[in-house]
Amino acid sequence: MELWYTEKQTDSYGITAKITETYVSEQTDFQKLDMIETEEFGTMLVLDGMVMTTDKDEFVYHEMVAHPALYTHPNPKHVLVVGGGDGGVIREILKHPEVEKAVLVDIDGKVIEYSKKYLPNIASGLDDPRVEVIVNDGFMHIHDHKNAYDVIMVDSTEPVGPAVNLFTRGFYQGIYDALKEDGIFVAQTDNPWFKADLIESVNRDVKEVFPIVRVYWANVPTYPSGLWTFTLGSKKHDPLAVNESSIPEIDTKYYSPRLHKAAFALPKFVEDLVK
């Protein structure tokens, strides 16, 4: 008998993958967590029925959360990741030698635990001496740390369950206050095919807080529609002003110096959403 996992991405559309093994299927204190082995994408982390990451395509998302902001900031010494318990964004942050400390705050310790066990290539940086892992509410951590970080990255699920508060104007204001005077923040902001209203509202809210706001995109096959957006808010530094020749070639599979500015060139229908 064949077993298939299906993510119903809208009421009338979804993606499906053949399962070869189920490692974990557990209701944590915060969400339904499944860790499964798929024939096409390798190990897959699923939270509340939504694909979070897979062995095969994880590098796209994690690289694009981390590197555009870190190569825009001239000296990112202290970096915070809210969510991201799988450790992929942390792994990418650690490729930047100027980063002295990276703090990860995830509300669900089970995501961290099972990622270390079943996604070791993604979670490889969580035990690095430059990393502090905190199991707590990222919203409250932001509130309690004013003027503390050079860069803040929000690696959250979609705005359901414990992530609802991470898509509010109040949260973006809290991020602004937690950043130093030239700080930068970036968040995943879903896809324009099914969540156009979300992209519009986030862009509007972030523009009320940050003087420089840029939206960029990447192709993540296992995320709804495959076209995924990110929103960057900055107090001083514009990612479009970065000199491409100043970006070093590092060990990546998706991000590159040539892609840095190209990712901010939006398809026309997405550009219209954020004008």
Q: How many CB atoms lie within 10 A of CB 272?
A: 12
Looking up tokens 């970006």 gives: 247
Per DSSP, the three-state class of 62 is helix
Answer yes or no: is 83 a known binding residue: no
- Kindly state the helix (H) or strand (E) to which residue 260 belongs, with its residue range: helix 257-262
Quick one: tokens of 63? 């690289």
Answer yes or no: is 129 a known binding residue: no
Quick one: tokens of 11? 């009421």
Cα–Cα distance measured from residue 132 to residue 128, given in angstroms and rounded to the nearest whole number: 8
User: Which residues partner with 230 through β-bridges?
Assistant: 188, 216
Cα–Cα distance measured from residue 261 to residue 239, given in angstroms and rounded to the nearest whole number: 7
Paired sense of beta strands 149-155 and 227-234, if any: unpaired
Answer yes or no: is 42 a known binding residue: no
Q: Which of 155, 177, 182, 190 is catalytic?
A: 155
Answer yes or no: is 86 a known binding residue: yes
Cα–Cα distance measured from residue 74 to residue 145, given in angstroms and rounded to the nearest whole number: 22
Nearest to 153 by CA among 138, 137, 133, 164: 138
With 0-12 / 13-18 / 19 or more C-beta atoms within 10 angstroms meaning exposed / middle / buried, residue 256 is middle
Nearest to 206 by CA among 186, 226, 229: 186
Answer yes or no: is 48 a known binding residue: no
Answer yes or no: is 106 a known binding residue: yes
Answer yes or no: is 125 a known binding residue: no
With 0-12 / 13-18 / 19 or more C-beta atoms within 10 angstroms meaning exposed / middle / buried, residue 194 is middle
With 0-12 / 13-18 / 19 or more C-beta atoms within 10 angstroms meaning exposed / middle / buried, residue 235 is middle
Q: Is 155 a catalytic residue?
A: yes
Answer yes or no: is 87 a known binding residue: no
Answer yes or no: is 96 a known binding residue: no
Task: Give the residue numbers of the binding site for S-methyl-5'-thioadenosine.
Answer: 31, 106, 137-138, 162
Task: Give the residue numbers of the binding site for spermidine.
Answer: 62, 86, 155-158
List active site positions.
155
Task: Give the residue numbers of the binding site.
Answer: 31, 62, 86, 106, 137-138, 155-158, 162
